[in-house]
A and B are shown apart, each in its own frame.
Chain A
């Protein structure tokens, strides 16, 4: 508990966020599993899964905030890292199906049998192990971000050009993943998962567990981001964002700092994707769609840049609105999102977090 009181003093919003996440991580499973369906406070498994999905989006938003809010890299391709993490988890889940697939092949996933493949491609090996899959969830997005950043930052591409490159990255991956012969299930992607770590994915308990895991991941992710942003490296990031040349001429290798923080951000996005896939039950190439990455940027813009908790708020608010609006006005939803983005950039440049900071508190606090 002391960590919360300490946090609350130092960083009010962060303390509140972590407190809420802890409460949700404990309470939501209890309300779902502990109370009978007739109970007025009962949460349906559908709701639990939906909330878990939001938390994954929130983690993705936080990753985008690290790159955009703190480093100043307007990334329009973070969906790619999210999707790669998701695919790595999806491959593990596919391997767990074993011989229970439609074709009953002991080793090959259904789509490979369908394509008449005789053996498992080399890059599918090892994914039957959970630990290996977890490593890949972080390593694959991290490596891609490293390679991308290595070339882009060294050649000092910045601004719009860099944004376009990130967009091209995710678009190219989408096209590649749509192809059957790439070995990731083509446009159907990976689906029909059965179990994770031996727990059935249809079971309420597993769903509740995945929700709790998402809440924990978001909390830990927040603490990690907070550690970085409050360190001297974090100060350097915003310094680079605001005056890249000055940072270089006081002796920092700007591209190295950008590279490692960008890689960290990509790994975070990968973890978010890995938690997302078992909850929604499918991963397919549409997760690489440019629009998905742009949406994530909108969440951060609406929530407020460079605050971390703003990104979380933005992701939750917009996705809740999206769930509601797509049901109520399926055609108008995208216009609603666009209008919201325009309104926020015009009237709330600091996002919802900026609005919150204007609320006077009794005690002068340390909210950034």
Chain B
């Protein structure tokens, strides 16, 4: 008889074969029912419902995860349809997160994908702390840095539950990487920022005077001509009208200099900084991310420690290595120092204390809170504007428990202090 329950058991037979056996690979693994329940119940967050995201959602759903959330602020563009296979022509213009969720929920019974049609920055720590692990399939460096910093900020080594494993996948053409970040334990995204080689554009004078490439003409249209004609209004790279204007302007420029190759889609690619995306590279990287998720969730095999590079540009290579944490990483390099100080003392007293404190010995510290300066020793005009703060008591300037940022010439980067006022 086919009951709900044994349909279910059949559906996940393959995975359960793995989870029902003792593993020879991982000594900690015990085949207990709890693990299956954990896979079923663990809340997993997928960030990005694009090329990687579609693959990740599909893989997670087919691996036995059931409580999956997906967050993406984008809507579906016709150019997405070739590889973002959860979307159909009729979906163009709709939310990627919502459309992907509906598709997976319909296709894989028992799975519940919850969409969030918004920016990752719209959600707070309470939201992120609900998840067991987070998988990122993004093409934006800024978004990755944000989620990385947020998760590192949330991780409190005294409370293991606050450490959310982050599995990050990324592709560019035939290349890609998958990595596992255990906040405060392994190297974080910020630790590896210097591995990126992001071109910052062509020389302005080349664009202005001696264009040779179609890209030069497009940059001319967007960097030099756009502000001339549209003033302070920034081009909306999601608005076809704006792209059309840039395209026509670039095309006219290209004609003038006899340059071939300016097209609408190249214009879109250059101004949106779209990196080439190949469906199969996305599939390889997403598959690797999801296997890591399954391994981490079940401990049925050793998880990636911690960086896998894949390159298909020159035959096929993968290389796995342990990317090292950077001691001076601005995000995970130091944890906040806890300090008590009298609230009725002035900011000047506090700065004097920092200068004299034997383990700090700062020279000319600057003090800020949440990005806003309380005191800056330079430049002159800022120093003058902020000088009145020196006389104020700490109680007036901040609340107990606030995290302040100190910089100084003697510090490689900065010092974070959680200040308790007594």
Q: Do A and B bind each other?
A: no
Chain B interface residues (CB < 8 Å from chain A): none
Chain A interface residues (CB < 8 Å from chain B): none
